[in-house]
Structure 1
Amino acid sequence: MVSHLTTNAADDQAIELVVLDMAGTTVADGGLVEQAFDAAARHLGVEPGTPDHAEKLAYVRATMGESKISVFRHLFGDEDKAQAANARFEEAYGELVDGGLIAPVPGAREAVEALQAAGITVVLSTGFARVTQDAILAALGWQDLVPLTLCPADAGGRGRPYPDMVLAALLRTGATDAVQKIAVAGDTSYDMLSGRRAGASVVAGVLTGAHDEDQLTAAGATHVLGSVAELPALLGVVRDDRPA
């Protein structure tokens, strides 16, 4: 048996490029962001249980999906402190990844492969630094899963909620000549804002990560899915199992 993939969308409306978030969308990390934040906060003298820690953690939760250095710039103001916090955060997150504490979201790899088999280009993006993104890809064995992976530094440094990484995916892959043929999927409000600002016609929120349906919808989600595993069907990619 061979799985044959086709798309049932009209050619002039079919999605040609999909930009997928990683942590919370294609990668299950079980709240490692908060654990890594604790390490970064302690490094700068912010102790758990204090009002300052609670306030900063609430901001981290609200801005899931944003470039992490941008988050720390907001939290600590001073650039040196922000850089120190970000470095400790990335180090701590990398240690947790190396400890085997991440896994693919069920059906995520299969969804990516289904989309690519149907001729759709898939790009993985993240708010983490490149070193952390590479550690996640290596831990999952995903180094060769897609033709391009992007972190904020690859697209000018701003990250989400700016549209930069989505537009960089378009420019660097040449997958389509129109932003209307881009789909974006992610688990946070910032993913939704980034996709809408880029002009993507499909901006799908998934419920496997940080934000709930109301938050995703309020940020502009065109669709809300249980998980990224449902994305191929949404885009008209159907699996037709027939004898080879």
Structure 2
Amino acid sequence: MSYIKQYYQSIEHILTRILQEQESILEQAATLMDEAVENGRSLYIFGASHAGIVAEDAFYRAGGLALFNPLFSPALMLNVEPITLTSKMERLEGYGQIILDSKPVQQGDVVFIHSVSGRNPVAIDLAIEAKARGMIVISLTNLTYSRSVPSRHSSGKRLFEVSDLVIDNYGEPGDAAVSIQSLTQKVAPTSTISGSFIIHSIVLKFIEKLEAKGKDVPVFRSANMDGGDDYNEQMIKNYKNQIHYM
């Protein structure tokens, strides 16, 4: 079988498992979002380095939820040089708390934390501090991977052990899925695709709840379609108390 077909089958298998085995968990996540928004609270999303791609995919994009507030840090983004700085910073204990301090978080807010291994201090710090402030922590991780490695945090905990709700991306340890004949290292990661599928699926379930109550659906339009800029500007004004990235 060709490498690309192996990759396709791996992705298909993972997405099928997520839908068949975790739909109830996605429903729980959507319910927590719905309750938070109903009570005037805010939604946040975080990921470091490549895990941050899922946060970027959820944030300020056409067809995406307007209420996701990203917890970004320049030192953890993929445009930093040298790129190895991201690995050092996500292992720096205490940095997660500093990132959380950058937003007006409050009790009852919901934060999604994406970390595939779930072992690095930045995500664990952020989760521990968020819970201490009364926030609800939903983690997106790889349970098989995370359980196979020790925590790098002084608490000895991994992300799934300090979260209120855990969603498994069903990937492999090391993330990549395709065995290559000439390499011992597998190729073609799965977590970005599965992570985005999970986040957007939760958003769709959240939208179902809004529609059932006859409420507005705060989703952005493409700025490249006529009227998109005006529509999005009004959307931001309507939810200015729950949007903290402008």
TM-score over 0.5 (shorter chain): no
- Normalized against structure 1, the TM-score is what? 0.38
Q: Report which structure shows greater RCO (CA 8 Å, sep ≥6).
A: 1
